[in-house]
Amino acid sequence: MTIRRTLATCGFALLTMLSVPLAAAEGYRTGACGDFTVGVIPDTQNYVDYRHQKSAGFPFDAAEQYYRQMQWIGENARSAGGDIVFATHVGDIWQHYSVWMDPDHAARGFKWMSNGGSEVAMSPKVQTRAFEIPVAVQGFELIAGKLPFSVVPGNHDMDALWTDPAHPPKPETGAAGVRHVGGLRGFQSAFSDTSPFFAGQPWYVASHDGGADSAQVFTAGKCRFLHIALQYHAPDASLAWASGVVARFAGLPTIVSTHDYLGRDGKRHMKSNPRNSILDPRDNDPEMMWDEFISRHDQIFMVLSGHVGGQGFSIDTNRAGSRVYQVMADYQGRGQTAKEAGAEGKQIGDGWMRLMQFRLDGAQPSIRVRTYSTHYGKFASELPTYADWYKARDRQAALSDADYLKRDEFTIELTDFHRRFGAPGKP
């Protein structure tokens, strides 16, 4: 890996990549934060998938579930009288790829071969640019101007999915071969740093790689927070840029969103995962991201991710001895609404998303994590059939119903938060 060289030699040049002038960050708290919510939108790829619409013969337009999620966030934003002050999409916004290999990897000498194994991997799709990306944009238009938000590219939001000919599929053993992704032109066409969503917004404070990495500062009451969005398997340059952002906003409690980070078992994914291997030496798998960036900055207290169907949670200690709370949720595999419509076995999502309710003004700060379906209009704990519907689908059939529900409805005690960032009454 080259990250140590990159971080050590970037110096002032790293800071020039920021999108606004440098200024030292003030303390995060000048008074009460008040209770507030951060909305976390997990993988929406199955809502946006062109195959899951009436025009393709599906029983209903799955995109309507996605639109309803975004509309609900806008309706419950602080600006509309609700308590949601920030929203983050953790990637895999749409489903399909648009080219076999992106020009950057081709120019660097990478080779590709076709690879079956799944409909998504069989070939690029013209519907990605013609339908799926426009639908994704329309969803974000429902929250634009109502609250600060972030969106990161997941592996499905890259332009290309390609297979390394040196590690081909082996049908006789069922091995899918080693795949890799690359290219951001599609993502940048929708969510670049110059898009109408972000250009000129005071809360959109920095960007890198055309907006594939970005930073936002959001407020709740008299408190400020930093959010950093990192692209899938963030390359060395992305981590160097992010370190510069942390330095610029030193002292602000910081949340990081990235697509692939945590598994259902609470462990970070390693490059040994054959379906997500690191072929490009510039890229970093989740464990590398922890080692080279997250664990090195004490103000990062939380990491949010998706990618893996189900839920995951863990607490690790960074190099300063402080806690980092790592939370994963991905509901794209759920299909009760499809089953009810006569399309049993199809994966949609059923409108489920995460709501993280922060309470930072008391002696014991905490986050109440809840899971809500904008389709059913209920929290997970309000549906008696919740575990029956989803436990096996989320590959957690061995859990009791009560233990399964606890993975979607729980409280995080931020035991060292006041020590790190300042207690109430101490700006």
Cβ contact 49:3 at 8 Å: no
Highest mean pLDDT, choosing among 112-121, 239-248, 262-271: 239-248
Query: Does the structure show a pLDDT above 80 at 168?
Result: yes
Residue 102 lies in a domain: yes
* Range with the poorest average pLDDT among 97-101, 274-278, 395-399: 274-278
Closest by CA to 414, choosing from 357, 371, 370, is 357
> pTM score, two decimals?
0.92
* Range with the poorest average pLDDT among 24-33, 135-144, 279-288, 339-348: 24-33
b/e 168-187 (16+ beta carbons within 10 angstroms → b): ebeeeeeebbbbbbbbbbbb
Instruction: Identify the band that residue 170 occupies on the pLDDT scale cut at 50, 70 and 90.
Output: confident
Q: How large a percentage of the chain has pLDDT more than 70? A: 90
Number of residues that make up the chain: 427
Residue 426 lies in a domain: no
Q: How large a percentage of the chain has pLDDT more than 90? A: 81
Say how far residue 368 (Cα) sits from the centre of its chain.
Answer: 19
Instruction: Identify the band that residue 26 occupies on the pLDDT scale cut at 50, 70 and 90.
Output: low
Query: Does the structure show a pLDDT above 60 at 132?
Result: yes
Instruction: Identify the band that residue 312 occupies on the pLDDT scale cut at 50, 70 and 90.
Output: very high
pLDDT in tens, 245-256: 999 999 999 999
Residue 132 lies in a domain: yes
Residue 216 lies in a domain: yes
Query: Does the structure show a pLDDT above 90 at 272?
Result: no
Q: What is the mean pLDDT of residues 192-215?
A: 98
pLDDT of residue 7: 35
pLDDT of residue 203: 98
Q: Tell me the pLDDT of the chain averaged across its residues.
A: 90
Q: What is the mean pLDDT of residues 19-27?
A: 44
Query: Does the structure show a pLDDT above 80 at 286?
Result: yes
pLDDT of residue 426: 59
Residue 396 lies in a domain: yes
d(CA 105, CA 181): 9
d(CA 304, CA 286): 12
Residue 411 lies in a domain: yes
Closest by CA to 120, choosing from 49, 177, 168, 59, is 49
pLDDT of residue 3: 35
Instruction: Identify the band that residue 115 occupies on the pLDDT scale cut at 50, 70 and 90.
Output: confident
pLDDT of residue 211: 98
Q: What is the mean pLDDT of residues 135-139?
A: 98
Domain span at 259: 3-421
Residue 178 lies in a domain: yes
Q: What is the mean pLDDT of residues 266-291?
A: 77
pLDDT of residue 2: 35
Cβ contact 421:253 at 8 Å: yes
Phi then psi for 243, rounded to 5 degrees?
A: -65, -35
Number of domains in the chain: 1
pLDDT of residue 278: 66
Residue 427 lies in a domain: no
Residues in Cβ contact with 43 at an 8 Å cutoff, skipping those fewer than 6 apart: 90, 91, 92, 154, 156, 306, 307, 330, 331, 332, 349
Instruction: Identify the band that residue 277 occupies on the pLDDT scale cut at 50, 70 and 90.
Output: low
